[in-house]
Amino acid sequence: MDLLEDIAFNEQGLVPAIAQDAETGRVLMMAWMNEQAIRQTLATGYAHYYSRSRRRQWKKGESSGHVQKVLDIYLDCDGDTLLLKIHQTGPACHTNRPSCFYRRLENDEWIETEGPTT
């Protein structure tokens, strides 16, 4: 049996994947995966995603070196979202921040809670 049969991909053949730091529990980013990205992740142990804008698969950190070692993968109750427990090397966000979730809503405006790492 193919374990991908349990995943409810959307009409574009994608499923959202949340990357969470396995040690701290912090949510680092959300990206999309297609079947090929999931298979590549399983084969290599490193997170691969699908870029909707570039219309291609990519390995997280392929140009920056900020790779994500996948320690565990969870499927939610509806089968339509993946949770990747990862070990992150360097910042997870393309803005050079530890997490893509660095803006918090405060008094009807977005406040940056942390700056880029140097």
Is it the case that residue 52 has pLDDT exceeding 80? yes
Residue 27 DSSP code = E
Domain assignment of residue 37, yes or no: yes
Q: Residue 58: which domain range?
A: 3-112
Residue 115 to residue 118: CA distance in whole angstroms: 9
**58-87 per-position pLDDT tens digit:** 999 999 999 999 999 999 999 999 999 999
Question: What per-residue string of b and e applies to 31-53 under the rule 16 or more CB within 10 Å gives b?
Answer: bbbbbebbbbbeeeebbbbbeee
Domain assignment of residue 53, yes or no: yes
Domain assignment of residue 104, yes or no: yes
The count of domains in the chain is 1
Position 118 scores a pLDDT of 65
Domain assignment of residue 26, yes or no: yes
Give this prediction's pTM.
Answer: 0.93
Residue 114 to residue 67: CA distance in whole angstroms: 21
Domain assignment of residue 117, yes or no: no
Position 2 scores a pLDDT of 83
Which domain CATH number covers 74?
Answer: 3.10.20.810
Residue 43 is inside which H or E element, if any? helix 35-44
Domain assignment of residue 118, yes or no: no
**Mean pLDDT in residue range 26-53:** 97
Q: Which of 113, 96, 94, 117 is nearest to 105 (CA)?
A: 113
Is it the case that residue 99 has pLDDT exceeding 70? yes
